[in-house]
Amino acid sequence: MSARTVVLFASLVLALGIAGVPVPRRAVAVTVAAGVLAFAGIQVVRAYDQAAGREVAFAVERTANRLFLIQPRTLEALQAAIPNEEPYFGGLTWLRRAGPFFGRNDIPNLGYWIYPRLFPDQTPPGYAAPGLLGEAWANFGGAGILLFGLLGVGVERFGALVARHRAAVADVVAAALGTLFIARSHALGLNGLVVLGALVALWRALVARPAGLLEDVGATLRWRI
C-alpha cells in the first residue's frame, strides 16, 4: 500500500466524519488491518535479502520501526547533535537560501543531514523527516515549544471554522485535507504544512463560490466563533 493510497483513504474517512456520515467501525477496522498487513508485506519484498528465513519477524520489526520508532530516533539524533555539534539555527532551516545573509553558510536540509547519524552503514543515504518537532528543536531548542503554542491556536481556530462552514462538498473536502495535513506535521514540517495549507485554501477559493466563507473566516480571525 503506497503512501498516496493511505492519504487518499484517510482523507475519505475524515471527509465522511466531517460531513456527519456514519462510518461502519468494522469496515474501518478491517481496512486498517488489511493496510497494515500490506505495508508489512511490502517491507519484506523490498528487503528480502535481509528478511529471508525470518520473514514474519522482519516484517514486524520493520513495520514497528517505520510506523513508531523512526520519528523518536530522529528527534533523539537531532538533540544529540544540536547544540553539541551545531548551534541552533534560529529559524534559518525554513529559509535555507537566506543563510548567507545572516552569516550562516552551513544551513543543511535537516532530513538528509541527520539520516547518516541514524543509519551510518546505509548507502546511499536517505531522508529522515525531522517533522515540526525536530525543526522546532533544531532552530530554537526548548524555546521551540512556543511554536506548538501558535500551532495549537491555529488548529483551534481551524476547527471552529470547519464546525461552522461545512455544508458544501468543497468545504468538507478542504476541511478533510487540512485536518490530514495538520496531523502529518510530524512528517511535513513547517514549510510543507504552510505550502499545502495554502494550496488547499486556494483550491477551495477556485472551485466553489465562497458563500458566507469570507465572513466566517473573518469571524474566526476575530475569535468570535
Whole-model pTM: value is: 0.80
Q: Is residue 61 part of a domain?
A: no
Proportion of the chain above pLDDT 70, given as a percent:
92
What contacts 24+ positions apart, CB below 8 Å, involve 160-167? 160/220, 160/225, 161/216, 161/217, 161/220, 161/225, 162/18, 163/225, 164/216, 164/220, 164/225, 165/212, 165/213, 165/216, 166/18, 166/19
- In a domain, residue 72? The reply is no
Q: How confident is the model at residue 61 (pLDDT cuts 50, 70, 90)?
A: confident
In a domain, 2, yes or no: no
pLDDT confidence band for 211 (50 / 70 / 90): low
In a domain, 175, yes or no: yes
Residue 56 pLDDT: 77
Residue 155 within a domain: yes
Average pLDDT over residues 97-124: 85
Number of domains in the chain: 1
Residue 109, in any domain of the structure: no
CA distances from 171 to 16, 146, 182, 201, 205 (A): 12, 30, 16, 10, 10
Higher pLDDT, 165 or 84: 84
d(CA 204, CA 214): 12
Question: In percent, how much of the chain has pLDDT > 90?
Answer: 27
Report yes or no: 75 and 142 within 8 Å, Cβ to Cβ: no
Domain encompassing residue 175: 147-221
Q: Average pLDDT for residues 204-211, to the nearest whole number?
A: 76
**Choice between 128 and 54, residue whose per-residue pLDDT is larger:** 128
Q: Which of 24-33, 38-47, 80-89, 156-165 has the largest mean confidence?
A: 80-89
pLDDT above 90 (res 74): yes
The reply to whether 171 falls in a domain is: yes
CA distance linking residue 134 with residue 192, whole number of Å: 14
Residue 124 has pLDDT above 80, yes or no: no
- For residue 97, pLDDT over 90 is answered with no
3-state class (DSSP) for residue 18: helix
- Residue 214 within a domain: yes
Read off the pLDDT of residues 141-173 as tens digits, 9 standing for 90 and up.
999 988 888 898 899 989 888 888 777 888 899
Mean pLDDT over residues 98-106, rounded? 81
Q: Tell how many helices (H) and how many strands (E) occur in the chain.
A: 11, 0
